[in-house]
């Protein structure tokens, strides 16, 4: 889905991970840098990008550009998420649980960057498996993409929202 970035308002970005990588060639090593950046408008839109370049600022710029192209909407229930969810990527799993108002963001560094950029203020999280920041970020994104609002679920089932809430 193509997103009109200007209509989203102010977009904040967070560098989650920087790494120096090397390509070994006949004459020695060629070093370059990779950067992972999370962007969001703190009102339900978030995206992630991974860039690589010979210099750090260029890698961050590329990652930022990719993240802006990969933005998607996260359904929010006030300041938290509508339901508990588990996201997976590689050997990393991230559990996100909805929390009562005033709880805050209880999450590790990589998960915290994603949920704060998305505008989630009350959430509990647990990162399971591999702690690799890249995979943890992608697992968190997977979890957020699985979220559905009560309106979306009711529409998919062909019932009214209040009927859905009676069953819960």
Interval 75-108: pLDDT, tens? 998 899 999 999 999 999 999 999 999 999 999 9
Interval 118-162: pLDDT, tens? 999 999 999 999 999 999 999 999 999 999 988 888 888 888 888
What is the percentage of the chain residues whose pLDDT exceeds 70? 94
CA distance 105 to 126: 11
CA distance 84 to 154: 17
pTM for the predicted model, two decimal places: 0.90
> Where do the domains of the chain lie, and which CATH numbers do they carry?
5-72 (3.30.160.20), 75-155 (3.30.230.10)
pLDDT at 156: 87
- The alpha carbon of residue 36 and the mean position of all alpha carbons in its chain are separated, in whole angstroms, by 11
Query: How many CA atoms lie less than 13 Å away from 33 in the CB half-sphere?
Result: 15
With H, G, I as helix, E, B as strand and everything else as coil, classify residue 74: coil
CA distance 80 to 147: 11
pLDDT at 153: 85
């Amino acid at each position: 889905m193509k997103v009109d970035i200007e209509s989203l308002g102010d977009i904040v970005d967070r560098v989650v991970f920087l790494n120096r990588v090397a390509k070994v060639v006949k004459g020695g090593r060629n070093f370059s840098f990779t950067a992972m950046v999370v962007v969001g408008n703190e009102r339900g839109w978030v995206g992630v990008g991974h860039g690589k370049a010979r210099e750090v600022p260029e890698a961050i710029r590329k990652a930022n550009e990719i993240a802006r192209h990969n933005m998607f909407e996260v359904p929010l229930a006030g300041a938290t998420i509508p339901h508990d969810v588990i996201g997976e990527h590689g050997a990393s799993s991230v559990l996100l649980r909805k929390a009562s108002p005033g709880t805050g963001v209880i999450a590790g560094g990589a998960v915290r960057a994603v949920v704060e950029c998305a505008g989630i203020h009350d959430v509990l999280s647990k990162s399971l498996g591999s702690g690799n920041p890249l995979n943890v970020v992608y697992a968190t994104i997977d979890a957020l993409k699985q979220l559905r609002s009560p309106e979306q679920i009711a529409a998919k089932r062909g019932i009214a929202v209040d009927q859905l809430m009676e069953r819960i």
